[in-house]
Amino acid sequence: MKLGNRVIFCFVVVVALVLVFTKTLFFRLDLTEEGRYSLSKASKSLVAEMNEPLTVKLYLDGDLDANMLRLRRATEDMVRELNMYASEQLMIEMYNPNRATTDEERYEEYAELEQRGLRGMSVTVRERGGKMSEQVIFPWAEICSSRDTMAVCLMQPSVQKSGEAAVNSAIADLEYLFVDAIRILNRKEVRKVAFIEGHGELSEEYTYDASDALSRYFQVDRGVIGTDASILDDYDAIIIAKPMERYSEIDKFVIDQYIMQGGSVLWLLDGAQMSNDMLSEGGTTPLIALDVNLSDMLFRYGVRLTSTVVEDMQCAYMPVNVARPTEEPRFEPIPWFYMPLLQGSPYHPITKTLQAVKADFASGIEIVGDTAGIRKEVLLITSNASHVHVAPSEIDVMGAINIEPKEYFTTQYVPIAVALEGRFESIYKHRMAPAGVKVEKIIDKSEFARMVVVADGDIIRNDIEQHRDGLMLVPLGYDRVTRQTHGNKDFIVNSLLYLTDDEGVMQLRNRRVDLRLLNRAVVESQRDMWMWINTLLPIVLLGVFGGVFYWRRKKRFVK
């Protein structure tokens, strides 16, 4: 074989091997500091288990402003990235809600989307010439399978963030939102959670909104514990929502042994009690400590509820009759310090990007005990202007109005909710099981378990109003005065997802995408300098290169 033929043959072989190798080997490189273009192992594993093709209908299309256009492109990139690891195809379809040519057709389109739960939002768009206009957009996507459709809200309206910051936060949550929806559509087994009853807990109608939100992920049951120690074994988590009566030793033993087997608990407890009826009728009510016989369990697990009620300047408003006794009733909203708006930790997946959570006569939580094997993280706190009302005492509406804030609110950042995870020690270690309970062996040390302890049972409570047509449910976290919905429902749902998260999907909520903005003042001050540099530098470099090239050519060829 001649040399030229050998070279051609070797070249063909090398090209063929490269093509085969690149077809079988798949890799992607992400050079960003925070890994914004990389999927987690949990995401790759979940999409690899897809059992059928899914279609993503994206409603961010049409003439969008720069921020919404960036969100649309990030969403498209996320779907394509997920599709690279999916066992079945993940297709994307674009849909423009503003495609109609007339206002009437456009409003009909809006109404249809609203009926499906896709709420629109209004954004201000700056047109050419500086003119401002309002545009209705739908930052939603629908993931459709052959059996069901999941709606995904790509960006929640926030009073704390706007513009580029809000879009950046939405982009950071995209992986979690899509993976969570795909997980629901592909689930083969229905996971179960249970509300514990029998101790004066909140009834079904007062937890209906939370139960309805949880039903998207779980089968939600209710019931009493009984004497069988294994009655809770089939549940991934249990919810104890504002008990008012004492727990028996048998009930405590069953819950304790459930935790020892790796069970998760959402505790929503009050450390003190008062009477809303007495407060509304006479303006005063006694505040007394509330003991439901769970303090020893919580202390062993690492927390203690205080017999207090927390007041805070960052609070919701309550309408109060300010008219004189002889005048017609005249209600005006006043700050109600006993209804604090709690701030969430930005470092925990439950509370990251969460709106303020509305509490009602919340108590405080103290972290106690030498539990080195348990990780404890504060989830909800009050502001830096708080006051702790210790029981026994009296609550007076007029006293809350006539206070001097600077002298009264001297406490800061009172913990209201705490997340615990690790291996807990049983309170029945070295003790006998209660008489009447059915158990073979007492477990002294738990497997890895999680729990969330909240020092306010009303965080999960939705109100019920009487109307002409009957009773009407008030959404959980809704404020009648400001007509704003707080983050109570999201907190409850996120807490249960965190407690039952075996795949690590909830950790995706902790993803961080840094917003690197230009300093506008520096840009304006150095604008002319950089404009001239960018204009003249290429010309200068081209001239230098041409001169050097001409000089070398002349020196080489001209003698």
Give the tokens for residue 250. 């048998």
166 and 208 belong to one structural domain: no
| pLDDT confidence bin for 553, thresholds 50/70/90 | confident
What CA–CA distance (Å, rounded) separates 349 from 311?
27
- Give the pLDDT score at 57: 93
How many helices, marked H, and strands, marked E, lie in the chain?
Answer: 15, 27
Q: What is the SS3 assignment for 329?
A: coil
Do 170 and 211 fall into the same domain? Answer: no
Long-range contacts of 223-227 (CB under 8 A, 24+ apart): 223/194, 223/195, 223/196, 223/197, 224/196, 224/197, 224/198, 225/196, 225/198, 225/250, 225/251, 225/254, 225/255, 226/254, 227/436, 227/437, 227/438
Residue 74 lies in a domain: yes
Q: Is residue 535 part of a domain?
A: no
pLDDT tier for residue 417 given thresholds of 50, 70 and 90: very high
The count of other CB atoms within 10 Å of the CB of residue 439 is 16
End position of a domain, from candidates 485, 502, 519: 502
244-282 burial string, b = 16+ CB within 10 Å, else e? eeebbbbbbbbbbbbbbeebbbbbbbbbbbbeeeebeee
Domain termination residue (choose one: 185, 207, 229): 185
Q: How far apart are CA 320 and CA 316, in angstroms?
A: 13
164 and 237 co-located in one domain: no
Range of the domain at 171: 38-185
Contact 355, 157 (CB under 8 A): no
Question: Same domain for 231 and 170?
Answer: no
Q: How many domains does the chain have?
A: 2
Q: Same structural domain for residues 267 and 287? A: yes
For residue 554, being part of any structural domain is answered with: no
Task: Say yes or no: 280 and 377 in one domain.
Answer: yes
| Confidence tier at 24 by pLDDT (50, 70, 90) | low
List, in order, residues 6 or more apart from 416 with CB less than 8 Å away.
310, 340, 342, 359, 362, 363, 364, 365, 379, 380, 381, 382, 454, 455, 456
- What is the average pLDDT score of the chain? 86
* Three state DSSP letters for 473-512: ECCCCEECCCCEECCHHHHHHHHHHHHCCCCCCHHHHHCC
Q: Is the pLDDT of residue 177 over 60?
A: yes
Residue 548 lies in a domain: no
Task: Specify the length of the chain in residues.
Answer: 559
Give the per-residue pLDDT at 515: 61
Residues 149 and 230 in one domain: no
Contact 418, 366 (CB under 8 A): no
Residues 343-359: pLDDT tens digits? Answer: 999 999 999 888 999 99
Statement: the pTM of the whole predicted model exceeds 0.85: no
* CATH for 91: 3.40.30
Whether the CB-CB separation of 269 and 240 falls below 8 Å is answered with: yes
Residue at 431 is within a domain: yes
- pLDDT at position 158 is 60
Residues 163 and 211 in one domain: no
Q: pLDDT digit string (tens) for 69-96? A: 889 999 998 998 888 888 778 889 998 8
Question: Do 86 and 68 have their domain in common?
Answer: yes
Answer whether residue 388 shows pLDDT above 90: yes
φ/ψ (deg, to 5) at 69: -65, -35
- Determine the 3-state secondary structure of 411 from DSSP: strand
- 386-390/308-312 β-pairing: antiparallel
CATH of the domain at 498: 3.40.50
Bond into 139 cis (ω within 30): no
**Same domain flag for 310 and 445:** yes
163 and 224 together in one domain: no
CB 269 within 8 A of CB 304: no
Same domain, 254 and 320: yes
